[in-house]
Structure 1
Amino acid sequence: MGMVDAEAIVKELRETYSSGKTKKYEWRVSQLKALLKIAENHEKEIVDALYSDLSKPELESFIHEISMVKTSCKHALKGLKQWMKPEKAKATITSFPSSAEIVPEPLGVVLVISAWNYPFLLSLDPVIGAIAAGNAVVLKPSEIAPATSSVLAKLLGQYVDVTAIRVVEGAVPETTALLEQKWDKIFYTGNGKIGRIVLAAATKHLTPVVLELGGKSPVVVDSNINFKVAVRRIISGKWGCNNGQACVAPDYIITAKDNVPKLLDSMKHELEKFYGKDPLNSGDLSRIVNANHFRRLSNLLDDTKVIDKVVHGGQRDENNLKIAPTILLDVPHDSLIMKEEIFGPLLPIITVNKVEDSIHFINAREKPLAAYLFTSNKKLEEEFVMNISAGGLVINDVTLHVANSSLPFGGVGESGMGSYHGRFSFDTFSHKKAVLHRNFSGDAPQRYPPYTPSKARFLKALLNGDILGLIRALIGW
Structure 2
Amino acid sequence: MKDYKDNPYFKLFSTQKNNHYNVAQSRVRDRKKKLDALKYAIEVTYREEIIEALQKDLGKPRVETELTEIYQIVSEIKFAKRNLNHWTQKHKVSTPISMLGASSYYIFEPKGVCLIISPWNFPFNLTFGPLVSAIAAGNTAIIKPSEMTPNSSALMAKIVEDVFEENEIALVEGEVETSSQLLKLPFNHIFFTGSPQVGKIVMKAAAEHLTSVTLELGGKSPTIIDKTANIDKAAKKIVWGKFMNAGQICICPDYILIDKSVKTKFLASCKKWLHHYFSENPQTSKSYGRIVTDKHFQRLNSYLENAKQLNATFEVGGQTDADSKYIEPTIISDLKLESTLLEEEIFGPIMPILTYNNLDEAIAYINSKERPLALYIFSKSKADIKQIINNTRAGGTCINNTHIHYANHNLPFGGINNSGIGKSHGFFGFKAFSNQRAVVKQHTFGVTELLFPPYSSLKEKLAKLTVKWF
Fold match by TM threshold 0.5: yes
Amino acid at match of 1:151: L
Partner secondary structure for residue 394 of structure 1:
strand
Residue 275 of structure 1: how far off its partner (Å): 1.1
| Structure 2 contact 98–448 (Cα < 8 Å) conserved | no
Which of 255, 258, 272 lines up with 2:258 in the alignment? 255
Structure 2: give runs of 5+ residues left out of the alignment: none
CA–CA distance in structure 2, aligned partners of residues 145 and 123 of structure 1: 12
The equivalences for 1:98-247 within 5 A come to 98-240=102-244, 242-247=245-250
CA–CA distance in structure 1, aligned partners of residues 354 and 242 of structure 2: 16
- Give the corresponding residue for 1:288: 291
CA–CA distance in structure 2, aligned partners of residues 84 and 32 of structure 1: 15
Partner secondary structure for residue 141 of structure 2:
strand
The equivalences for 1:60-71 within 5 A come to 60-71=64-75
CA–CA distance in structure 2, aligned partners of residues 272 and 444 of structure 1: 74
| Structure 1 contact 22–28 (Cα < 8 Å) conserved | no
Partner secondary structure for residue 336 of structure 2:
coil
Cα gap change, 1:111 to 1:445, in 2 (>3 Å): closer
Residue 23 of structure 1: how far off its partner (Å): 3.8
Which of 406, 409, 422 lines up with 1:418 in the alignment? 422
| Structure 1 contact 301–307 (Cα < 8 Å) conserved | no
Residue 28 of structure 1: how far off its partner (Å): 1.2
Partner secondary structure for residue 371 of structure 1:
strand
CA–CA distance in structure 1, aligned partners of residues 458 and 282 of structure 2: 85
CA–CA distance in structure 2, aligned partners of residues 57 and 439 of structure 1: 61
| Structure 2 contact 409–425 (Cα < 8 Å) conserved | yes
CA–CA distance in structure 2, aligned partners of residues 316 and 52 of structure 1: 19
- Give the corresponding residue for 2:393: 389
- Give the corresponding residue for 1:336: 340
Greater Rg over alpha carbons, structure? 1
- Give the corresponding residue for 1:29: 32
CA–CA distance in structure 1, aligned partners of residues 301 and 464 of structure 2: 71
Residue 269 of structure 1: how far off its partner (Å): 1.4
| Structure 1 contact 446–459 (Cα < 8 Å) conserved | no
CA–CA distance in structure 1, aligned partners of residues 401 and 333 of structure 2: 22
Partner secondary structure for residue 43 of structure 2:
helix
| Structure 1 contact 255–355 (Cα < 8 Å) conserved | no
- Give the corresponding residue for 2:78: 74
CA–CA distance in structure 2, aligned partners of residues 193 and 283 of structure 1: 33
CA–CA distance in structure 1, aligned partners of residues 145 and 160 of structure 2: 12
| Structure 2 contact 24–139 (Cα < 8 Å) conserved | no
Amino acid at match of 1:383: Q
Which of 55, 61, 67 lines up with 1:57 in the alignment? 61
Instruction: Give me the CA root mean square deviation.
Output: 1.4
Q: Which runs of 4+ in 1 moved over 6 A?
A: none
Deviation per CA, 1:85-104: give whole Å up to 9, x if none: 11111111222111000111
The number of residues matched between the two structures is: 464
| Structure 2 contact 313–333 (Cα < 8 Å) conserved | yes
Deviation per CA, 1:8-30: give whole Å up to 9, x if none: 01100011113355543233112
Amino acid at match of 2:290: R
Deviation per CA, 1:63-102: give whole Å up to 9, x if none: 0110010000010011001000111111112221110001
With normalisation by structure 1, the TM-score equals 0.95
Residue 259 of structure 1: how far off its partner (Å): 1.3
Amino acid at match of 2:365: F
With normalisation by structure 2, the TM-score equals 0.96
CA–CA distance in structure 1, aligned partners of residues 402 and 24 of structure 2: 41
**Identity fraction in percent:** 36
Partner secondary structure for residue 393 of structure 1:
strand
| Structure 2 contact 374–394 (Cα < 8 Å) conserved | yes
The equivalences for 1:226-375 within 5 A come to 226-240=230-244, 242-303=245-306, 304-375=308-379
Residue 132 of structure 1: how far off its partner (Å): 0.4
CA–CA distance in structure 2, aligned partners of residues 215 and 19 of structure 1: 39
Residue 307 of structure 1: how far off its partner (Å): 4.9
Amino acid at match of 1:156: V
Amino acid at match of 1:74: K
Residue 178 of structure 1: how far off its partner (Å): 0.6
Cα gap change, 1:3 to 1:337, in 2 (>3 Å): farther
- Give the corresponding residue for 2:88: 84
Amino acid at match of 2:278: Y
Cα gap change, 1:342 to 1:436, in 2 (>3 Å): same
